[in-house]
Structure 1
């Protein structure tokens, strides 16, 4: 597909992809949250398509983001854990920004990268904002603050929650103006890029990526958003109240203890969710600014828009905060909203994957999709949904320690292989909150055997190495405190 001679003539040739970090699907109004204010994402979903069953290939930043840019799974591209010094992507896989640039596109990225080398080495225009947290001392951000007369970031401008000396800081109030925040700054740089690229359209089509660092913890946000939602209006997730880790992998109980949630009251748990929701609304406001820029430039009808997250977040669900060696829907089933892809349905239960982004981008540009890409162009979903995938496979290799997991998600079931630990099987029709592990349940023996065989076959076909069988290293745990909804602590 080449760019149209006149704006608005033919399918979109430009692409805007907005990616957040660690955002729950149910934090958006369009997905059924009737408290959180997300008018811009809700409007995007109303104009396009909401994917209810979209999945990350792994719920950890660097591997998921490397999969987005390469179109292949972590096992294939080689980044299996968060980027450390000397780690980078296997360069034999064609990254979509390079393919778009070869097709004559302007290709830019503003915001979080977290995939090792400078984005320009993958074909992007833009600064390199490294790491998983806002790089508050980055020269570009500091120059922006100085140019606008804003105070620079320091601990003196943040009121931290629950306290500055807490072992596990949740977030805090950034007392500077909203315009001084890094989140606003990312949107500002994205808008500037849209304006710059828009001046060269339609002669030169464009791809713009806008990657926010939030709502990843810690939640350092302006007071307006920090206090926006009343904890009394928050209902804890059912799994936050009922999870007891019975017949679950040992690592899950250990992870709960490491989050320090055990030492916080339920009122504080609700406050954590309320702050998180405030962060989501803060980002939604910036998404609105970016979409308005498309309209001002007169390119909104010629720009396909995709919104998603690299992975989700627990935010107290299953008695956890962020992510980790737990393959629950909370962190694998991500928000995914598109506009301009020719999909007629307002919502779809078709299985989508972040691996579908790269083939979709190159398909929009009229480029042949590389055979090595493991996902599928979402453009084909609009006219060939009967031949779509009927399952999702995901993987995990460890966060702060090695831990191998593989997951098979079908229409009704989820099966998880945990190396050296208890396997998991959930009947999502009967148990959508994944509280009851059906592995070894006589009623589900045939289901377990079938899914085990199917996942094993898929992994062999992918060249995924056998999972290690080392004994689990965690010691037996002492009894734990499990807050309930009625326990205000």
Structure 2
């Protein structure tokens, strides 16, 4: 591999981790993404820092949790969050790669401002809320197809320069809609799920077009491909928000795949707990660019290359949950996830929440259906609270300390 690899960063919106064949879904028609996973590295337990679009995307580019980069809910009506003193996003990996000489391009949904940041040489982006179709649904071009066309055009024009191409698709986010030829792959499902999975299959098809172009241009051997999503989707079946804003796996756990056969180890699946705050230090190390100090994430490069290193045993998820009739994000919540347990703490009752505190035994109850929070599991909770306090100090999140103290009082500790 050349000294400076190219990067193709592909991100979908609101795509849950288990919506792909390579993550065990027997219904999903995703052959191209599955092919990436089969010859790359798939992270089985990757979580968004917060299960909301803008905060998660800000964490992806900054390597910080939302309470530190200060994007704690969706952004509308601002020019550029990366240039705003209201947010801590000036240091980010697209900017550092641009400054290091990479030819940079963003295609698709950005959700961190209405205007193009200066770090992108080419910009075909938008903040949010554009229709998934360029005109009349089913009779005009699907936006995912246009974005793949734009990505292919960029590759053809920049094949001789080290490049960073970010391809960010709005689907399968609401409004859930997909071309009929892809939705029809799921004839026995309710329309909502036909459209959700149809959108994912459309993305998969056009990702295949982009990958074929990489190979045709002779770029595949020197390009690192990363596939992920900003957060998942629980279809209104969980407390906290209509389809996200919750720490349950359906909304907080996301796919993460790295593909670069000449660089990566032969171990196809990693079980470590990883977060999207880990992406910034990982990408910078792969690009050979010095990583700024003070990031919350850790480089995944040792895991990608098969080196044995100590790794975290827990992971934090920050969230703001909704209450009907009030502004989004009225309730603050924090969750700690280990391989065995998930503890969720709230400072109020969000929509559908029956308890301020929830505890799930992930070994016995991987779908997080029955909370076992209570005095009978007080010792488990006590240990998890100690771990949450550690995270609070590591990332400077005072809300965690408020919540852990309230939980201790609730259990009489």
- Normalised TM-score (structure 2): 0.87
Q: Is the 8 A contact 1:21 1:213 kept in 2?
A: yes
Answering whether residue 59 of structure 2 is matched by residue 102 of structure 1, we say no
| Partner Cα separation in structure 2 for residue 122 and residue 350 of structure 1 | 32
- State the match for 1:386 in structure 2: 309
Query: CA 1:214 to 1:322, structure 2 compared with 1: closer, same or farther past 3 Å?
Result: farther
Query: CA 1:100 to 1:401, structure 2 compared with 1: closer, same or farther past 3 Å?
Result: closer
Which sits farther off after the overlay, 422-431 or 387-396?
387-396
**CA deviation digits over 1:280-315, x for unaligned, max 9?**
111100110111111111100100011000001113
| Partner Cα separation in structure 2 for residue 79 and residue 91 of structure 1 | 8
- State the match for 1:77 in structure 2: 69
**CA deviation digits over 1:139-197, x for unaligned, max 9?**
xxxxxxxxxxxxx62xxx3xxxxxxxxxxxxxxxx2215xx111111111111111111
Q: Is the 8 A contact 2:231 2:251 kept in 1?
A: yes
Q: Is the 8 A contact 1:119 1:128 kept in 2?
A: yes
Match 1:415 to one of 309, 327, 343: 343
Unaligned residue ranges in structure 2 (runs of 5+)? 323-327, 350-355, 404-413
Answering whether residue 279 of structure 2 is matched by residue 360 of structure 1, we say no
Query: CA 1:440 to 1:45, structure 2 compared with 1: closer, same or farther past 3 Å?
Result: same
**Residue 120 of structure 1: CA displacement?**
2.6
Answering whether residue 147 of structure 2 is matched by residue 213 of structure 1, we say no
- State the match for 1:404 in structure 2: 332
How many residue pairs match? The answer is 383
- State the match for 1:377 in structure 2: 299
- State the match for 1:296 in structure 2: 216
Q: How does 1:114-133 map to 2 (within 5 A)?
A: 114-116=111-113, 118-123=115-120, 125-133=122-130
Runs of 4+ in 1 over 6 A off after TM superposition: none
Determine helix, strand or coil for the equivalent of 1:436.
coil
| Partner Cα separation in structure 1 for residue 230 and residue 335 of structure 2 | 17
- State the match for 1:160 in structure 2: none
- State the match for 2:235 in structure 1: 315
Match 2:249 to one of 311, 326, 329: 329
- State the match for 2:185 in structure 1: 228
Determine helix, strand or coil for the equivalent of 2:281.
helix
Unaligned residue ranges in structure 1 (runs of 5+)? 1-8, 137-151, 158-173, 235-269, 470-489
| Partner Cα separation in structure 1 for residue 390 and residue 240 of structure 2 | 32
Match 1:280 to one of 162, 180, 200: 200
| Partner Cα separation in structure 2 for residue 362 and residue 117 of structure 1 | 26
Which sits farther off after the overlay, 79-88 or 275-284?
79-88
| Partner Cα separation in structure 2 for residue 449 and residue 321 of structure 1 | 28
| Partner Cα separation in structure 1 for residue 333 and residue 21 of structure 2 | 31
* Higher alpha-carbon Rg: 1
Query: CA 1:385 to 1:350, structure 2 compared with 1: closer, same or farther past 3 Å?
Result: farther
Q: Is the 8 A contact 1:314 1:320 kept in 2?
A: no
Q: How does 1:194-273 map to 2 (within 5 A)?
A: 194-198=155-159, 201=160, 204-231=161-188, 234=189, 270-273=190-193
- State the match for 1:454 in structure 2: 387
Determine helix, strand or coil for the equivalent of 2:398.
coil
- Normalised TM-score (structure 1): 0.74
| Partner Cα separation in structure 2 for residue 352 and residue 132 of structure 1 | 29
